[in-house]
């Protein structure tokens, strides 16, 4: 994939506004995958989890709305919370555990990401697609030991 003529990647943080803005300018669609990862770190570092997820999404949406770029936002099945209803439905009520448990910082921050993306659509007409992923794993994800913050964009 790295050798494909239309593929480009930049290693940086999603909150680096100048770099992110330049990347958004060069793309047709923004696929926002940047987030805090690793159960242990999410439980032990809820502040970092919330800041990484919410601020990262805010920066992506702000840069994307300027150029009216479509944003595909990766959310999580954790947003379904403690629901026992199967199958899950996007318009079901959300039941989240107590705020004393750090584990819920991830679910809540990703729910805020969704609310923010939908608000950008409603108020600023930014085209957004939200995908709630289940159990993703792959290269670059340091399971249980680190953070994976990435944004992938398609080049023109």
Q: Active-site positions?
A: 106
Quickly tell me which residue has 């629901």 as its tokens.
83
Our measurement of the distance from residue 8's CA atom to the centroid of its chain's CA atoms, rounded to an integer in Å, reads: 20
Beta bridge partners of 31: 72, 152
Selection from 53, 29, 45, 66 nearest residue 116 by Cα: 53
Burial of 148 (0-12, 13-18, 19+ CB in 10 A): middle
Structure tokens of 15? 């909150």
* Counts of helices then strands in the chain (DSSP H, E): 5, 4
Q: Helices in the chain by DSSP H: which ranges?
A: 17-25, 39-44, 46-50, 56-67, 104-124
């Amino acid at each position: 994939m790295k050798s494909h003529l239309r593929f480009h990647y930049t290693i940086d943080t999603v909150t680096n506004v100048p770099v992110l803005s330049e990347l958004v300018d060069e793309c047709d669609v923004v696929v926002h995958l940047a987030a805090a990862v690793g159960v242990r770190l999410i439980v032990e570092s809820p502040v970092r989890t919330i800041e990484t997820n919410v601020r990262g999404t805010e920066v992506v949406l702000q840069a994307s709305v300027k150029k009216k770029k479509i944003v595909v936002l990766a959310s999580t099945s954790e947003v379904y919370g403690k629901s026992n209803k199967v199958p899950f439905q996007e318009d079901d009520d959300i039941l989240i555990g107590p705020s004393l448990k750090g584990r819920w910082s991830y679910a809540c921050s990703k729910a805020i990401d969704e609310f923010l993306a939908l608000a950008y659509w409603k108020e600023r007409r930014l085209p957004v697609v939200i995908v709630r992923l289940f159990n993703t794993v792959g290269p670059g994800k340091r399971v249980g030991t680190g953070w994976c913050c990435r944004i992938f964009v398609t080049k023109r």
